[in-house]
C-alpha cells in the first residue's frame, strides 16, 4: 500500500489532482484541523456567541493577531458567522454557523476515539522512546519522504 492509498477513505481518489488531492479528505483536514480552528469551533459551540475578547479568553494562549486571522478564514469558509453592531463603541460577535455545527458528530467521534486510544498511543511512545519498538527496524539515514505531510 502506498502512502496515497493509505488515505482514511482509501477507495476514492480525485482524478487529475496533485499530491495534495490524492486523499479526498485533505481539504477538510486543512480547513478543520489547523492549529486554532478546532479550539475556536469548540469554544463557540460550548459557550455560544462570543465577543472577540471573550473568545480569546476562552481559548487562552492565542494572540489577537492569530485569532483575527483564523476568524476571518473561518468566516470565509462558512464555519463562523460574524455580526457587526453599529453602536458606540462598535460591537462584533462571533457564532458558530450551521456548517460549523455540522462538524459536531466528527468531533464527538474523535473525542470518543481519543478517550479509548490516547493511552495506547502514550504507551507506544514510551515503548518506542525506551527502544522497545515492536515493529520492523526503522530505516537509518535521511528520511525517504521529503516535504510536508498533509
* Per-residue confidence (pLDDT) for residue 30, from 0 to 100: 83
* Per-residue confidence (pLDDT) for residue 101, from 0 to 100: 94
What is this structure's pTM? 0.67
Average pLDDT per 10 consecutive residues for the chain, totaling 150 residues: 43 50 81 88 93 94 95 96 95 96 89 93 94 61 46
How many C-beta atoms lie closer than 10 Å to residue 150's C-beta? 13
The angle at the Cα of 38, spanning 14 to 4, to the nearest 5 degrees, equals: 25
**CA–CA separation, 48 vs 97, rounded Å?**
11
Contact 91, 100 (CB under 8 A): no
Contact 52, 40 (CB under 8 A): no
Q: Give me the half-sphere count of Cα atoms (radius 13 Å) on the Cβ side of residue 7.
A: 20
* Per-residue confidence (pLDDT) for residue 5, from 0 to 100: 40
* Per-residue confidence (pLDDT) for residue 33, from 0 to 100: 83
* Per-residue confidence (pLDDT) for residue 133, from 0 to 100: 63
Measure Cα distances from 142 to 132, 139, 145, 147 in Å: 22, 8, 9, 12
The angle at the Cα of 75, spanning 69 to 77, to the nearest 5 degrees, equals: 105
DSSP 8-state assignment for residue 103: T
Amino acid at each position: 500500500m502506498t502512502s496515497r492509498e493509505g488515505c482514511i477513505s482509501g477507495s476514492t481518489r480525485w482524478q487529475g489532482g496533485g499530491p495534495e488531492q490524492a486523499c479526498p479528505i485533505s481539504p477538510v483536514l486543512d480547513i478543520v484541523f489547523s492549529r486554532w480552528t478546532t479550539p475556536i469551533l469548540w469554544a463557540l459551540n460550548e459557550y455560544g456567541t462570543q465577543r472577540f475578547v471573550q473568545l480569546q479568553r476562552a481559548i487562552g494562549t492565542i494572540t489577537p493577531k492569530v485569532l483575527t486571522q483564523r476568524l476571518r478564514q473561518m468566516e470565509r469558509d462558512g464555519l463562523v458567522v460574524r455580526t457587526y453592531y453599529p453602536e458606540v463603541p462598535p460591537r462584533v460577535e462571533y457564532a458558530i454557523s450551521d456548517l460549523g455545527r455540522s462538524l459536531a458528530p466528527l468531533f464527538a467521534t474523535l473525542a470518543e476515539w481519543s478517550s479509548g486510544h490516547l493511552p495506547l498511543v502514550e504507551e507506544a511512545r514510551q515503548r518506542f522512546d525506551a527502544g522497545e519498538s515492536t515493529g520492523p527496524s526503522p530505516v537509518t539515514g535521511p528520511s525517504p519522504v521529503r516535504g510536508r505531510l498533509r
